[in-house]
């Protein structure tokens, strides 16, 4: 879902406004280029508001009370319902406690971009109703550290015949964010009894970029740029199938193809663009000379001889599909052994040192 509010800042525009989507095409090289199934590197981690579009009736909000200032629920083109104001100013508000939702102080103090919006229109019986939208970013004491206003009660926006969007993206507001307060109100300018005032729908409070899903491609190694997150590498050519055992920040596939990483960060999940790796065979042909693996074919026991200048600390054994079936670490140098105990077939043996992958060789396991 694209939020044009994040593009237009503090403008109030119809929700169907056209926005230019720019696609950056990277240069194709011998070992690196990427394709993307989506056009945006920004992830939405869901709407943080309770009952943002009146689908659950009048729950989740604090509403004003008094003669002529109550609320009703009526139909909407953005779902089944919308909030409808009465005569005199009808207001509603909600506070989002970010700490209770699980966001850490360190993340909130990093000034993540916050996107807010609400759609509004005049009532079909008689348009030209009034509207305002007010949002505050608050610290732990409830003090506002940043705010946004689209109209006020004394100088309201006019809700005409079409749905309009009041929206804003907060950034560079300083540390200390702990909660978000959102308030809006409508007024039946004709002062008719009943519910003929401003209609409101699709309110939203969300973080604009909670997950960094960019990837550095130094083919055949892919590295997620998010630090301290949770990772799961995926095979784009197999309907984004999970690659068993590949949960590290870096991934070196053994088969040419397209790969992506699912990143979990700040309680949110998003998936990177697919990255093409296609020089695995070249890499293997070069690295196979760095060590000697025997016997090959093998019935299970493998000896690995490594040159003295090549320090090896660990090994991984994978199936043809990329699933890790054996991992082992060593502290000594020189000659190493592995014992394969799986189904007969072709496996890949990877050797690592502290800097990363140093060698790959195919081995045939027979029974």
Q: How confident is the model at residue 332 (pLDDT cuts 50, 70, 90)?
A: low
pLDDT tens profile 242-255? 998 899 999 988 77
Which residue among 179, 207, 235 closes a domain? 207
Select, from the ranges 13-17, 131-135, 253-257, 293-297, the one with the highest average predicted confidence (pLDDT). 131-135
Task: Specify the pLDDT at position 269.
Answer: 86
pLDDT digits (tens, 9 = 90+) for 14-33: 433 333 222 222 222 222 22
pLDDT at 40 over 80: no
Tokens for 118? 């609400």
Q: What does the mean pLDDT of the chain come to?
A: 79
Q: Count how many domains the chain has.
A: 3
Q: What is the pLDDT of residue 189?
A: 76
Per-residue pLDDT averaged across 216-243, rounded? 90
Mean pLDDT calculated for residue range 105-120: 93
The stretch 54-61 carries a mean pLDDT of 94
Beta bridge partners of 170: 114
Confidence of residue 281 (pLDDT cuts 50, 70, 90): low
Pairing of strands 12-13, 241-242: unpaired
CB 90 within 8 A of CB 185: yes
Q: How far is CA 244 from CA 272, 314, 348, in A?
A: 18, 18, 14
Q: Are residues 77 and 90 in the same domain?
A: yes
Whether 33 is in a domain gets the answer no
At which of 191, 207, 223 does a domain end? Answer: 207
Residue 187 resides in a domain: yes
What band does 52 get if pLDDT is binned at 50, 70 and 90? very high
| Most confident stretch, 73-77, 239-243, 291-295 | 239-243
CA 39/CA 298 separation, integer angstroms: 48
Mean predicted confidence (pLDDT) in 223-241 = 91
106 — phi, psi (to 5°)? -65, -40
Report d(CA 87, CA 70) in Å as an integer: 9
- Asked whether the whole model's pTM tops 0.85, one would answer no
Return the higher-pLDDT residue of 279 and 89: 89
Could you tell me which residues are beta bridge partners of residue 171? none
Nearest 10 degrees: CA dihedral of 195, 131, 53, 51?
Answer: -100
Can the peptide bond before residue 198 be classed as cis, meaning omega within 30 degrees of 0? Answer: no
Looking at the structure, tell me whether residues 250 and 288 fall in a common domain.
no
Number of other CB atoms surrounding residue 230 within 10 Å: 12
Residue at 35 is within a domain:
no
- Whether omega before 340 lies within 30 degrees of 0, making that bond cis, reads no
pLDDT band per the 50, 70, 90 thresholds, residue 170: very high
Q: What is the CATH number of the domain that holds 104?
A: 2.60.120.260
Cβ burial 44-56 (10 Å sphere, 16+ → b, else e): bbebbbebbbbee
State which of 277, 295, 323 marks the end of a domain.
277
Asked whether residue 209 carries a pLDDT value surpassing 80, the answer given is no
- Position 334 scores a pLDDT of 62
Percent of the chain with pLDDT over 70: 77
The two three-digit tokens of residue 42, written as one number = 């920004």
- Whether 34 is covered by a domain: the verdict is no
- CATH code: domain of residue 317: 2.60.40.3080
**How would you write 189-233 as a 3-class SS string?**
CCCCCCCCCCEEEEEEEEECCCCCCCEEEECCEEEECCCCCEEEE
Residue of 345, 335, 314, 210 whose CA lies nearest to 252: 314
336 and 359 share one domain: yes
């Amino acid at each position: 879902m694209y939020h044009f509010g994040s593009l237009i800042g503090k403008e109030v525009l119809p929700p169907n406004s056209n926005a230019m989507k720019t696609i950056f095409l990277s240069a194709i090289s011998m070992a690196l280029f990427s394709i993307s199934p989506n056009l945006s590197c920004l992830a939405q981690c869901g709407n943080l508001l309770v009952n943002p579009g009146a689908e659950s009736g009048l729950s989740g909000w604090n509403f004003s009370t008094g003669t002529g200032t109550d609320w009703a629920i009526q139909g909407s083109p953005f779902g089944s319902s919308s909030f409808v104001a009465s005569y005199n100013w009808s207001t509603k508000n909600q506070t989002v406690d970010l700490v209770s939702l699980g966001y850490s102080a360190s993340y909130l103090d990093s000034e993540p971009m916050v996107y807010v919006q609400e759609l509004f229109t005049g009532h079909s019986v008689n348009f030209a109703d009034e509207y305002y939208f007010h949002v505050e970013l608050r610290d732990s004491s409830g003090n506002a550290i940043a705010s946004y206003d689209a109209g006020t009660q004394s100088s309201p926006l006019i809700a005409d015949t079409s749905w309009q969007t009041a929206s804003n993206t907060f950034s560079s507001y300083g540390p200390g964010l702990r909660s978000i307060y959102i308030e809006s109100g409508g007024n039946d300018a004709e002062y008719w009894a009943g519910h003929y005032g401003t209609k409101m729908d699709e309110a939203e409070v969300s973080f604009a970029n909670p997950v960094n899903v960019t990837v550095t491609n130094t083919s055949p190694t892919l590295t997620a740029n998010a630090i301290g997150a949770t990772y799961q590498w995926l095979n784009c050519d197999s309907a984004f199938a999970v690659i068993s055992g590949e949960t590290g920040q870096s991934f070196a596939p053994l088969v040419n193809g397209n790969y992506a990483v699912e990143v979990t960060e700040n309680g949110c999940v998003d998936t990177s663009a697919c990255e093409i790796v296609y020089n695995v065979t070249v890499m293997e042909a070069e690295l196979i000379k760095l060590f000697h693996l025997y016997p090959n074919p093998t019935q299970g026991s493998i000896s690995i001889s490594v040159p003295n200048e090549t320090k090896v600390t660990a090994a991984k054994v994978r199936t043809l599909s990329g699933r890790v079936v054996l991992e082992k670490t060593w502290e000594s140098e020189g000659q190493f052994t592995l014992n394969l105990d799986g189904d007969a077939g072709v496996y890949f043996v990877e050797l690592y040192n502290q800097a990363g992958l140093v060698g790959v060789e195919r081995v045939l396991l027979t029974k």
